Amino acid sequence: MKKIGIFGGTFNPPHIGHVRLAKAAADALGLDRVLIMPACVPPHKLPAALASGEDRLAMCRLAFGGDARFEVSDLELRRGSKSYTVETLRALHAGDPAAELWFIAGSDMLATFRQWYRWEEILSLARLCAASREAEFVPDLSGFTPAQRARITVLPIAPMEASSTEVREALRSGRPTELLQPQVLEYIGTHGLYADGLSAYRALLRDRLDAKRLHHSECVSDAAAMLAAQYGWDPEKARLAGLLHDVTKNEALPAQWHLIEADGGTLSEIELQNPKVWHQRSGAAFLRQNGLVTDPEILSAIACHTTGKAGMTLPDKILYIADFISAERDYPDVGVVRRLAALSLEHAILYTSRYTVMTLQKKKLPLHPATLACYADTLRHFGLDKEKLPNGKDDAT
């Protein structure tokens, strides 16, 4: 009986971890063929910085070209709609009912497998081969029946820290990466993939921000682009706003003060008590004064990203929330805010501005009037403006 592996993924771009997994699965399972199947738009992923289907197919052909068992398939891309694995497996099964199908995936996929569309049918159409992506991977198969468990094989290969996300980050920031095969790297270079015109800004940030702040800025950039795509702002502008939002965060306070003054501004009593909020204004001032950003939407969003304010524009809201939900954030309620942000920006702002107001009140820290105004404005938006606002004396909780 013919044994066919199906290795689906975004392959954005394909890296050596992918090739290694496909080879290990083909060897361990004795597969005759492995279909490498770039997905159209994966239902569980965000399509940010996604190379075209044509480019991903070409890169897969280059990456998986050295092994006669591998065949790059455009089945899912040709379908032209969201890629559901079950549909792919149905089509392959109908085409060759006698073949034994194996679906190959990393352990991260196994963890969410039971949320996949028609996962039980997937498991009846194909066996599942999962390879570990993290050290000491112990698969939790408790949610599967014994018959289903018997169709799942865990591939015993040492995990390799490689992901397309890491590759894209390296490419964007001009860092060398050993995770790509040379032929794929060359393809990316000659086709201008994953370069988003932000390299000059990144070079500027590398001189001004520490590593942690740089990483945060990249994460906010991604989150802002994602929110912009969802809510209707230009994702490229959002990406730039996110990248630059903390540009003066590591700047000495006198220099920040100077930037604000040179922009015709003064610091209020409350701001003088809380220098942590200066960077929103000094950042916008720095970018404007140096002609680095002229776009008023971006400058406005940066100028209020920490405190928020009343009457925020869509770009203001996007950056404000992106700063709360960026991928590296791990404060206790971040999951709630991410879910709210996926539903509505206003709900996310209500939650975060209320949280900020209450926390500052509780800790008796200076509360910027713009934050209170932002909270009040959002309450008004929901018709909740009868709610008692903190006035500095009462505990509003």
| Residues near ligand ATP (CB under 6 A) | 9-12, 17-18, 21, 105-106, 108-109, 131, 133, 160, 162-165
Shortest Å distance, C-beta 16 to ligand ATP: 8
Is the CB of 163 or the CB of 177 nearer to ligand ATP?
163
Is the CB of 113 or the CB of 320 nearer to ligand ATP?
113
Chain residue whose CB lies nearest ligand ATP: 106
Shortest Å distance, C-beta 23 to ligand ATP: 11
Shortest Å distance, C-beta 342 to ligand ATP: 18
Is the CB of 38 or the CB of 315 nearer to ligand ATP?
38
Shortest Å distance, C-beta 359 to ligand ATP: 33
Shortest Å distance, C-beta 15 to ligand ATP: 6
> What is the number of other CB atoms lying within 10 angstroms of the CB of residue 337?
20
Is the CB of 113 or the CB of 144 nearer to ligand ATP?
113
Shortest Å distance, C-beta 334 to ligand ATP: 19
Shortest Å distance, C-beta 160 to ligand ATP: 5
Shortest Å distance, C-beta 356 to ligand ATP: 31
- What contacts 25, CB < 8 A, 6 or more positions away? 5, 7, 31, 34, 102, 104, 129, 131, 155
Is the CB of 14 or the CB of 242 nearer to ligand ATP?
14
Is the CB of 3 or the CB of 23 nearer to ligand ATP?
23
Is the CB of 180 or the CB of 260 nearer to ligand ATP?
180
Is the CB of 9 or the CB of 235 nearer to ligand ATP?
9
